[in-house]
């Protein structure tokens, strides 16, 4: 379940962006973190360090040096932390590769000039788990948009999506055991193997085995595709 007071996943819809970045074939999603506060950047990097599906390849404050670092590191996702105003976001987007997925976290909300170029805006109260899940989806070419909770009947919630139809696997969710379903849910929420082990009271070795079996059974390449599978199958 999402953390108390945060309606991140239930209040989000997913859309595939034309020309979105492809999911990495293997390994963790490479993140570049940009923000004006060095201490805050260090905090975000520390939070993400425990997530198996993410690795921060660089960070810097906005400016020419950061843009040069982006070209050198070639990350899968750019996370812009606490932008001060929409003009800062618009100027940044003008200077980077339009195919690079960008997420903003905290700070101002982007305005209409740049909202369509972003893969999502997350509030300052976003947790490390939620950010890790959003980064994985952005790397796969998805974007988060505001919507209504799944209890509504306007077609925006998980309960209204068809179950079992996904673009990444033809194996239906019914083929999973109860334990595999639990592991899938936790992986799709961005939890690391350590956190899954704590949640299910299992050893990390057992969790790692469950994750590998899950990927093999669903014929998925990595944890990014697990998140996509969960959303598209109507499990989230």
What pTM was computed for the model?
Answer: 0.61
Task: Measure the CA–CA gap between 74 and 42, rounded to whole angstroms.
Answer: 20
Question: What pLDDT, on the 0 to 100 scale, is given for residue 6?
Answer: 38
CATH 3.40.50.2300 in the chain, residue ranges: 12-146
201-221 burial by CB neighbour count: b if 16+ within 10 A, else e? ebeeeebeebbeebbeebebe
How far CA 146 is from CA of 96, 114, 115, in Å, comes to: 25, 15, 12
Who's near 92: CB < 8 A, 6+ residues apart? 34, 62, 80, 83, 102
Question: pLDDT tens per residue, the chain (236 residues)?
Answer: 444 443 344 334 444 444 444 444 346 889 999 999 999 999 888 888 777 778 899 999 998 999 999 999 999 999 999 988 888 888 888 888 888 999 999 888 777 667 666 888 888 888 888 888 888 888 888 887 665 444 443 444 444 444 555 778 888 888 888 899 899 988 888 888 988 999 999 999 999 999 999 999 998 888 888 888 887 787 76
Question: What pLDDT, on the 0 to 100 scale, is given for residue 160?
Answer: 45
What are the φ and ψ backbone dihedral angles of 201, each rounded to 5 degrees?
55, 55
Q: Which fold has domain 12-146?
A: Rossmann fold (3.40.50)
User: DSSP secondary-structure letter at 57?
Assistant: E
CATH 1.10.10.10 in the chain, residue ranges: 158-232
How far CA 18 is from CA of 15, 83, 101, 110, in Å, comes to: 10, 25, 12, 20
Encoded tokens for 51: 């997530």
Encoded tokens for 199: 């949640």
Architecture of domain 158-232: Orthogonal Bundle (1.10)
Question: What pLDDT, on the 0 to 100 scale, is given for residue 116?
Answer: 64
């Amino acid at each position: 379940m999402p953390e108390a007071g945060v309606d991140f996943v239930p209040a989000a819809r997913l859309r595939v962006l034309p020309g979105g970045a492809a999911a990495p074939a293997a390994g963790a999603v490479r993140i570049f973190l940009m923000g004006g506060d060095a201490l805050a950047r260090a905090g975000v990097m520390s939070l993400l360090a425990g997530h198996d599906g993410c690795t921060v390849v660089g960070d810097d404050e906005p400016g020419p040096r950061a843009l040069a670092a982006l070209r050198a590191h070639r990350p899968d996702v750019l996370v812009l932390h606490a932008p001060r105003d929409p003009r800062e976001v618009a100027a940044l987007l003008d200077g980077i590769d339009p195919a690079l997925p960008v997420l903003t976290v905290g700070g101002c909300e982007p305005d209409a000039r740049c909202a369509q170029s972003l893969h999502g805006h997350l509030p300052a109260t976003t947790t490390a788990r939620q950010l890790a899940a959003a980064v994985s989806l952005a790397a796969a070419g998805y974007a988060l948009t505001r919507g209504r909770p799944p209890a509504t009947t306007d077609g925006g919630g998980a309960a209204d999506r068809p179950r079992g139809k996904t673009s990444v696997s033809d194996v239906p969710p019914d083929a999973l055991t109860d334990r595999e379903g639990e592991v899938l849910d936790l992986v799709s929420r961005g939890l690391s193997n350590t956190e899954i082990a704590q949640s299910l009271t299992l050893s990390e070795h057992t969790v790692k085995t469950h994750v590998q079996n899950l990927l093999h059974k669903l014929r998925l390449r990595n944890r990014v595709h697990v998140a996509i599978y969960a959303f598209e199958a109507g499990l989230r």
